[in-house]
Structure 1
Amino acid sequence: MNYHQWQEVIATIGIFVLLTVAAVTIIRQVAIGQRAKAQLAREAAYKKLVEDGAAGQERIERRLEAIERVLKDVE
């Protein structure tokens, strides 16, 4: 192989490495974004679950207070 052929081989390898690094970087950034979106969705679901649980507990407390009032009136 002469000098020009080696330059072509090196340039081809360099371009291949550059494209590989760029592709890996893009894929990694997309994956990080998807993970962040998934985490936000989980946090929103947990927040809704907590709010629903608190609302249910509040309803139960109101019913319990009503039952206690009825029992006090009966006594």
Structure 2
Amino acid sequence: MTFYDPDALVWTLGSLVLIVPVLIVAIRQSGATSRAKAKLAREREYQRLTELALNTQELTDQKLGEIVVQLAEIRASVTSVERSLKEIE
């Protein structure tokens, strides 16, 4: 008395032998795709941060130039006041 059909067993095992490798390849490829997408997103974020750093650096340079001009004006004013005070003495 057999509880299984030999033909069904052969078809089932044969199907598994054919389907399992396909599933493994599909899973590995989806993993590689998701890793590539994550890497691309990370690179885009680094690029955005780099652009932000460059913009901040340019703004800092601009503000530093303005401060240098203001400092030169203050220096000239202080020098003028010192001359005036020396003349008054």
TM-score (norm 1): 0.82
- Cα RMSD of the aligned pairs, angstroms, is 1.7
Following superposition, the deviation at residue 24 of structure 1 comes to 0.7
- Alignment gaps of 5+ in structure 1: none
Q: How many residues align?
A: 71
The aligned runs of 1:25-64 (5 Å cut-off) are 25-64=25-64
Residue 16 of structure 1 aligns with an amino acid whose one-letter code is: L
Deviations 1:14-50 (A, max 9, x none): 3212111001111111111111111101100110001
Taking the aligned partners of 2:45 and 2:8, their CA distance within structure 1 comes to: 55
> Which of these two proteins has the greater Rg computed from alpha carbons?
2
Q: Identical aligned pairs, as a percentage? A: 32
Taking the aligned partners of 1:8 and 1:64, their CA distance within structure 2 comes to: 82
